[in-house]
A and B are shown apart, each in its own frame.
Chain A
Amino acid sequence: MAERVRVKAMMPPGHVRAPFYLRGKTGEIERSLGPFKNPEQLAYALPAAPKNLYRVRFTMAELWGAEAEAPQDFVEAEIYEHWLERLPDAP
């Protein structure tokens, strides 16, 4: 079963790499892309720890609710691990 995650709905100041429209939304890990130096620190020339990057798959229904053109379509986006919280498997 695919791993379910939620994008943290946080609003930290500065350069962040989690698109606003995905914050607070629940999706499934589509694939793991491995570690990358955290671009949110690289942007300020700070020492950047490697962070795992994941492709997360969201349904249009999850993102846009009743306004979705086709609820079963997907958006897949790259989200860093520190923006994700794991959720229990769907019942």
Chain B
Amino acid sequence: MPHDHPHDHLSPSGHPFRTDNDTPLSYFQTMEIAVRELLIEKGVLSPAEIAAQIDVMDGRSPANGAAVVARAWTDPAFKARLLADAGAASQEMGFDIGPLNLIAVENTADTHNLVVCTLCSCYPRNLLGLPPDWYKTRAYRSRAVKEPRSVLREFGVELPETTRLRVHDSTADMRYIVLPARPAGSDGMDEGALAALVTRDAMIGAGLPRAPGG
């Protein structure tokens, strides 16, 4: 069938092609490669050490934080230690959080917590892995302190008017993890099953844990 629209910029489905990401290196990408190769050349670091560190970073995931949350849900003494010193409590479970200072904030029947970093994108990577892309956007960072209830609504979390919202602006030397409220109907579930209910977003406060069986 003849048609006269141009094909240069559209895929067969009629949508624009996604641009490739193989653009030239940025200044800082070039700088990183230069510094890395110099460190190897001078014997400060070995390629194996760099690869091992990348593996460590990739190995961090929200599953670590979820295990901490599940433990806090099942062990009141651990929960008390977590709220008193979240870094020490995480280390106790074998999660090496490095030099990080970590504060756990608890969602209760009348309080919800939301974490943002307006100045940059501070995030507890050592416990939760890489942050979601939206966490680093200007839109999230500016709106989370100005209209957090609207932001939460867009994430599907509708807070009752009676719930007090605490937005934590992680601006300098602290990292935050939200300890979500244990979902109703989760009685009798073991730690492993509970951890599967804990989403990354729930530990930022932008979401809630999954419902059991949901």
Contact = CB atoms under 8 A, between A and B. Distances in A.
A73 B148 contact: yes
A22 B172 CA distance: 14
A18 B172 CA distance: 9
B49 interface: no
A69 interface: yes
Contacts of B119: 17, 19
Given A19-B119, A63-B145, A64-B146, A73 B173 contact: no
Given A36-B173, A53-B173, A73 B167 contact: yes
A18 B149 CA distance: 24
A33 B101 CA distance: 10
B171 A78 contact: yes
Given A21-B118, A69-B147, A69-B149, A75 B172 contact: no
Contact of A33 (B148, B149, B174): B174
Interface residues on B, range: 20 to 34
Nearest to B119: A19
Interface in A1-48: 17-19, 21-22, 33, 36, 39
B138 interface: no
Contacts of A18: 171
Given A73-B164, A75-B145, A19 B169 contact: yes
B200 interface: no
A17 B171 contact: yes
A49 interface: no
B63 interface: no
A36 B171 CA distance: 13
Contacts of B171: 17-19, 77-79
B150 interface: yes
A15 B148 CA distance: 27
Contacts of A80: 172
Interface string B79-121: 0000000000000000000000100000000000000001100
Interface string B172-183: 111000000000
B172 A74 contact: no
Interface in B131-175: 145-150, 161, 164-174
A78 B174 contact: yes
A43 to B, nearest CB: 11
